[in-house]
Structure 1
């Protein structure tokens, strides 16, 4: 599921936009202040940032510049600042698009969908490699290299999804809740509490114990670096 960070201090507008985007199939992290947005950005995998400019604890332009220093994520400004110089400043700060208020929710959704299509093109890797493990995205097939050559890994669909999620977020701690949301597309309310640990245990039994480590009280971490090609 693609993820969106929404930074908007108007609570009603924030909730309205979030609800619409969720209905379109996106996971939305809502923030009402820059401090909240920075924390959410650092703790989650974000595909698109939608941000106001005038905010209670700072300026959205500065927030955008901070993001640009560490990420190539798409940024869209949604603001009442509608002068030509405002727009120029927004693009100079690193924004990919700029929408002025009042705005059409339908147009916003269309722009979001366009960004996601562009992302599929940018992220169109053929495979991901980590340690002795390789996953071919097109075939959704996993291999493990060893002294005797290459051996196919016989994984269930969920095990493969978990492994890909770990590899794409190598050396980052992933909580049980994050794994549930990404792989099962649920928040865990109706899923057995042992679902994630059991599947990870089975996965470790097939790929070896060294790749995934338990971080007590926090979640799990993939210990090897990953490369996408």
Structure 2
């Protein structure tokens, strides 16, 4: 499996390459935004690990380019751990965010978690439920045959609920799956806001939802047909 690493710190980069290679991954290492953009134009990788602060730009720009090529998994690696940067990264479509200093074992677990999620959620073809259709290969959602434009977080939230159809997902569990962390980075009402936005887009009557049901005091569920 091929992994792309963008990290300008020589010591961190070498250490990560060594650790990833020991786990059986093939690693391509870039140190600048310009070098990264040139590489990703020519090759596609199974996972992208991006440092945020680079000498000639930032990892956000590289993430935008990667997501323009397809719905590919991205993990941000950065010294910045404030909420603004976290939310911005996820809005761009990042799948996880780990702050320096970090434990190598923790990063490896995050990598495996993201890869499992993609293998499950994004290569299953077509998911149909009533008037809703999700093409996981193209990361597109249709309602009554017309495409609905979702943000990366809205799409991820919908997939988590669909892939756990019939199972009530607690608020904590949903946040862990979306961000793959404990939810410490977000305010209490963040999930409620995204559920509302998603309902506004996919439901005929958002206040009387057909798809995403609220289980009072527990969480949310998309029921089996």
The two structures have a TM-score, normalised by structure 2, of: 0.52
Q: For the residues of structure 1 that align with 2:25 and 2:54, how far apart are their CA atoms?
A: 24
Q: Which shows bigger deviation, 4-13 or 114-123?
A: 114-123
Residue 123 of structure 1 deviates from its aligned partner by 5.7
Aligned position for 1:36: 35
1:59 aligns with 2:85: no
Question: What is the DSSP-based 3-state SS (H/G/I as helix, E as strand, rest coil) of the residue aligned with 2:69?
Answer: coil
Cα-to-partner distance string for 1:108-148 (whole Å, 9 max, x where unaligned):
0011111222233246569xxxxxxxxxxxxxxxxxxxxxx
Contact 1:62 1:93 in 2 (8 A): no
Provide the alpha-carbon RMSD of the alignment: 1.6
TM alignment of 1:1-229, pairs within 5 A:
2-122=1-121, 124=123
Question: Which segments of structure 1 move beyond 6 Å, counting only runs of 4 or more?
Answer: none
Contact 2:95 2:114 in 1 (8 A): no
Contact 2:73 2:115 in 1 (8 A): no
Cα-to-partner distance string for 1:53-79 (whole Å, 9 max, x where unaligned):
110111111211122122211000000
Q: For the residues of structure 1 that align with 2:84 and 2:97, how far apart are their CA atoms?
A: 12
Residue 94 of structure 1 deviates from its aligned partner by 1.7
Kindly tell me: are residues 68 and 123 of structure 1, through their superposed partners in 2, closer, same or farther at Cα, counting changes over 3 Å? closer
Question: What is the DSSP-based 3-state SS (H/G/I as helix, E as strand, rest coil) of the residue aligned with 1:9?
Answer: coil
Q: For the residues of structure 1 that align with 2:22 and 2:72, how far apart are their CA atoms?
A: 22
Q: For the residues of structure 2 that align with 1:92 and 1:55, how far apart are their CA atoms?
A: 20
The two structures have a TM-score, normalised by structure 1, of: 0.52
Q: For the residues of structure 2 that align with 1:125 and 1:81, how far apart are their CA atoms?
A: 35
Residue 11 of structure 1 deviates from its aligned partner by 0.9
Question: What is the DSSP-based 3-state SS (H/G/I as helix, E as strand, rest coil) of the residue aligned with 2:89?
Answer: helix
Q: For the residues of structure 1 that align with 2:122 and 2:82, how far apart are their CA atoms?
A: 34
Contact 2:75 2:95 in 1 (8 A): yes
Kindly tell me: are residues 22 and 88 of structure 1, through their superposed partners in 2, closer, same or farther at Cα, counting changes over 3 Å? same
Aligned position for 2:146: none
Q: For the residues of structure 2 that align with 1:83 and 1:125, how far apart are their CA atoms?
A: 35
Larger Rg: 1
Question: What is the DSSP-based 3-state SS (H/G/I as helix, E as strand, rest coil) of the residue aligned with 2:24?
Answer: coil
In structure 1, stretches of 5+ residues that fail to align are 127-229
Contact 1:74 1:96 in 2 (8 A): yes
Contact 2:96 2:114 in 1 (8 A): no
Contact 1:81 1:100 in 2 (8 A): yes
In structure 2, stretches of 5+ residues that fail to align are 126-225
